[in-house]
Amino acid sequence: MATDRQKRVWDEAAPRYDRQIAFLERHWFVGAREWVCARAQGRVLEVAIGTGRNLPFYRPGTTITGIELSTEMLAVARTRAAELGRAADLREGDAHRLPFEDGSFDTVVCVLSLCTITDPARAIGEMKRVLVPGGTLLLADHIRSSFGPLRVAQRLAEQVTIRTAGEHFTRRQLPLVQAQGFEIVETERLKAGTVERIRARKP
């Protein structure tokens, strides 16, 4: 379950988030939002939608629902949706217990958030539950590097970041997705193996 502390951390981060992540999007997560959103179709649920930075990239014809832990992040997402003229159902919610019926969505998206969600295996299980059979899971996140020295640096960094912000650098979502019984359709691993994009299908 998400904690009050996590919510507070992200509420406090909200005013600075867009500026900080824009830098990382230019140098580290290049093209991740475009990659994910080009593959999303139909009824789309974005889990931990944050400030809604994927909203400009979803294709016309998709209907967007977003859930997010932080009230302040969500407030920025609502403003963004209004400025874009993009209808979106944006709600507070916890990725560990999605407030939707089984089989409610054609696509579930989660970007840069399974690195911080307390129990990523449980969250991925929830994403599977709310997908229709044949539905698509789309993930993009930073993960543990395939390059040893960088992995050591990541382990050191997360000694601090897990405690202060719940941010993990040595997780990897692919085995969790496989363990949930998804069929892996497409993966890309970039930037010394620190970034991974996954497209998977619920059987």
Q: Which residues bind ligand SAM (CB under 6 A)?
A: 2, 6, 10, 21, 48-50, 53, 68-70, 73, 94-96, 111-113, 116-117
Chain center to CA of 163:
20
CA distance 149 to 27: 20
What is the C-alpha radius of gyration for the chain, rounded to an integer number of angstroms? 16
Question: Smallest gap, in angstroms, from Cβ of residue 201 to ligand SAM?
Answer: 22
Residue 138 DSSP SS3? strand
Rounded Cα distance, 48 and 1, in Å? 14
Nearer residue to ligand SAM within complex by CB, 73 or 200:
73
Q: How far is the CB of 3 from ligand SAM (least distance, A)?
A: 9
Nearest approach, Cβ of residue 38 and ligand SAM (Å)? 15
Could you tell me which of 122, 105, 130 has the C-alpha nearest to residue 177? 122
Residue 38 or 152: the one with the smaller Cβ distance to ligand SAM is: 38
Shortest separation between residue 93's beta carbon and ligand SAM, angstroms: 6
- End-to-end CA separation in angstroms for the chain: 27
* Residue nearer to ligand SAM on the CB measure, 45 or 200: 45
Nearer CB in complex with ligand SAM: 139/177:
139
